[in-house]
Amino acid sequence: MATGSGAAVYRVVLRPAILGAGMVAAAACLSAKPALAQEALKSLGPMPDPAAAALAPRALADLNRMITQGDAFFDVKQGKACKTDIDLLQKETDKWAIAAGGTTTTTIKEHARAVLSGACPDAKGAFSGPAEHIEVTASHSEISNIVMDAHREVRVNGVYAQGRLVGESATFVRTRNTTYHKLSSGELVAPQGPQAQDVSYYVTYAVEDQTGRTLKPSVLFSWSGAQKIVHVSVDESPDGQRSVGTSYQNGKPFMRTRMKNGAYHGWLEYFDPTLIQLKQDKVCYQNGTQIKALQCPDT
């Protein structure tokens, strides 16, 4: 296996026969690791979409704020602690997994929440009124021979009505993922080197009404330190149920998705020239299920 400066080196680190239920402890230890240090970004590169171009200077400043402040930006200790319900979060996670096709099994290991301003959410986790809050979640996922321990930190600033963000809002996210490959023997192989921990940063700017309808395009900017990719996604929802999103990587069109009620619905298009040449650039989904079709309605 290549071991150049940009390559990941793997070694066997876990044996289920030995650990058993100790996988929970392993996930907790991984979630507690500090994020790997990264340098501030100098530019987000070209912005083909006008909505993204207008927000790019703000996004650069916000991404760099997350990168330079690191753990402090998402520290729940800086706010008032709120009660959390892991069982409720697990049910929501399972629901979204089923809507997305049901191929991934995710177990929530840890969940913490704090408000920097405004009131804690109600018993169902719904916020009301102006609020700025932080949520930290550690999870363990498995799909086929891939196992991932993930640590996700979210900081939101906006106004809520009946648990939904309304008007203008900003959402900041940092993810720290460690992915293992499961061998046929059951051993888990973890990456080493520069890609041992994939740390990514996201900021989303949205303006929506109470139905989820976008009053302006919602724009997400993200930076992957391991892959060195600037990803931009521009989403519009005309009715709060259906949405169309176009994404770009390092300034080039990447893909377009169509969704309905949170599930893929309609053509999923890839703009990669190789896939277009091979006629593998379109995949049809209907209510979250991939099908073979010549026509693929998104209504």
Q: What is the DSSP string of 7-26?
A: --EEEEEE-HHHHGGGHHHH
* Distance between start and end Cα atoms, the chain: 47
3 domain residue, yes or no: no
1 domain residue, yes or no: no
**For residue 4, with 0-12 CB atoms within 10 Å meaning exposed, 13-18 middle and 19 or more buried, which class applies?**
exposed
User: Across 156-165, 173-182, 219-228, which has the greatest mean pLDDT?
Assistant: 156-165
> Taking the model in full, what pTM does it have?
0.80
284 domain residue, yes or no: yes
Phi, psi of 254 (to 5 degrees): -115, -55
Do residue 276 and residue 238 come from a single domain?
Answer: yes
Residue 7 clears pLDDT 50, i.e. is over it? no
93: left (phi over 0), alpha (psi -120 to 50) or beta: alpha
Do residue 218 and residue 167 come from a single domain?
Answer: yes
211 domain residue, yes or no: yes
Do residue 238 and residue 274 come from a single domain?
Answer: yes
251 domain residue, yes or no: yes
**Of 226, 150, 195, 191, residue with least CA distance to 13:** 191
Q: What is the DSSP letter of 74?
A: G
Mean of pLDDT values over 120-132: 94
Question: Among 64-68, 195-199, 255-259, 291-295, which is the least confidently predicted range?
Answer: 195-199
Do residue 140 and residue 216 come from a single domain?
Answer: yes
108 domain residue, yes or no: yes
CA distance 270 to 267: 10
37 domain residue, yes or no: no
Do residue 210 and residue 241 come from a single domain?
Answer: no
pLDDT of residue 110: 94
Do residue 174 and residue 287 come from a single domain?
Answer: no
Last residue of a domain, one of 185, 205, 227: 227
Looking at per-residue pLDDT, the higher value among 109 and 29 belongs to 109
Do residue 239 and residue 216 come from a single domain?
Answer: no
Do residue 243 and residue 190 come from a single domain?
Answer: no
Residue with token string 């996670």: 93
Do residue 191 and residue 241 come from a single domain?
Answer: no
Last residue of a domain, one of 227, 257, 286: 227
Domain total of the chain: 2
Do residue 253 and residue 210 come from a single domain?
Answer: no
Query: Which residue range is the domain that position 281 belongs to?
Result: 233-299
Q: Which residues of 222-241 are buried (b: 16+ CB within 10 A; e: fewer)?
A: bbbbbeeebbbbbbebeeee
Do residue 288 and residue 193 come from a single domain?
Answer: no
Q: Which residues contact 187 (CB under 8 A, 6 or more apart)?
A: 12, 14, 15, 16
Residue 18 clears pLDDT 60, i.e. is over it? no
Q: What is the pLDDT of residues 50-69, one digit of tens each?
A: 999 999 999 999 999 999 99
Percent of the chain past pLDDT 90, that is, above it, reads 60
200 domain residue, yes or no: yes
Do residue 220 and residue 238 come from a single domain?
Answer: no
**Of 145, 149, 122, 123, residue with least CA distance to 137:** 149
Residues in the chain: 299
CA distance 64 to 60: 6
Last residue of a domain, one of 197, 227, 257: 227
